[in-house]
Amino acid sequence: MTDLLPVPTVAHLPRYDGARLGEPTLDTWQLAPHNRWTFSHVDEFVPTVAIARRPATEIASGTVGIESLRAEIPGLDRRLATSFTDAFVVVQGDVVLADHYREGFGPDERHLLMSVSKSICGLTVGTLVDAGLIDPAKRVDHYVEPLTGTAYGDATVQQVLDMTVDVDYDEDYRNPASHVQAQDRVAGWRTRHADDPADTYAFLTSLRGGGAHGRMFRYCSAGTDVLAWVIENVSGRRYADAVSEQLWSRLGCDDDATITVDAGGFGFANGGISCTARDLARLGRLMLGGGELDGRRVVSAEWVRRTMAGGDPAAAAGSVFQRVHPGGSYRNQWWATGNDRGNVYAIGIHGQYVWVDPPTDTVIVKFSSWPEPVTEEWNRLHAELFRDVCEAVGTAVGS
């Protein structure tokens, strides 16, 4: 590892160079001098929607190459329909074996990834570790001074990556009083309360904990945003730009991804990224390629190896996750099943998946719109579906 560069002392980066008269807000973004920048960044202040390249009535639905999977997996169409599938893509090597979309949703459309976004953040951290800009063994407050004295300040970057930080955070998606709903409000995803922090930077500085880090797996969405703040400070780039430069632009994707931003311009790293299914499959291809894709080295083989090997299963003992995947663990913002196939995956609430199957060199991407955020049964049903698909792919390859 090379010597670490000096860490910037600014609390966080401005939205644009030269924002000397205060940061633009919802009330000032149309005024000079901010409008020289904001008029080309309107989607940071007002919700936007894409103007599609073709009418929705012309979006093709159906399948490409899924017939062979139907033959091997009885009831596949029913399983996809009853699990609220929006997109289902199976890629083996460089070949798309299945490409299925619900009616009204097409291959060129982006879909919200929810917490699959966390795994993108983890890989971005990996590229900066490779570059010598982040040392996972160092404390978070070495990189983000405003987090000193918070739940995350004295945790190491690796503990944040593995979600073993002792933090008081309620991840109950249905509880209006939970931390995760408060963070949604701050991110602009829900109507704000009068006493909510101004932005995600301020929200993160409000979190407290017991300081007993590294002992127990504690799933906490805020940790990914802490990592994003670290990324910003060491790269000198806003999170969206850093992900673009370090990861997305190097994957050979066909389309831009997007990310939601809050009132302070902070990219919602833990759940706000959207992209197409085929582009997301390239993330899984990167993992199976040991950090290399189409002859390009994106992240080190060692980072991918450690990620796919998983973390400490004992840290997740007794979790709902291990009721589905006994011996499973969490490492570098990815889930490791600990099963006989060595499957690792990224997951987001309401049914977003990247499933990686090393024995068959296969990646499965599934976009969904489950009515519930997450349940043990939904996770179990999808693990069974993905295993059946991978076994069918293996049978086809062996025949």
Give the CA count within 13 Å in the CB-facing half-sphere of 54: 10
Burial class (CB in 10 A: 0-12, 13-18, 19+), 148: middle
Taking the C-alpha atoms of residue 366 and residue 340, their distance in angstroms, rounded to an integer, is 22
- Cα maximum dimension of the chain: 68
Strands in 211-266 per DSSP E: 258-259
Name which of 380, 324, 322 is nearest 351 in CA terms.
380
SS3 call for 5: coil
Which residues does the annotation mark as catalytic? 115
Return left, alpha or beta for 209; rule: phi > 0 is left, psi -120 to 50 is alpha, else beta.
beta
Long-range contacts of 186-190 (CB under 8 A, 24+ apart): 186/262, 186/263, 187/260, 187/262, 187/266, 187/268, 187/272, 188/260, 188/261, 188/262, 188/263, 189/260, 189/268
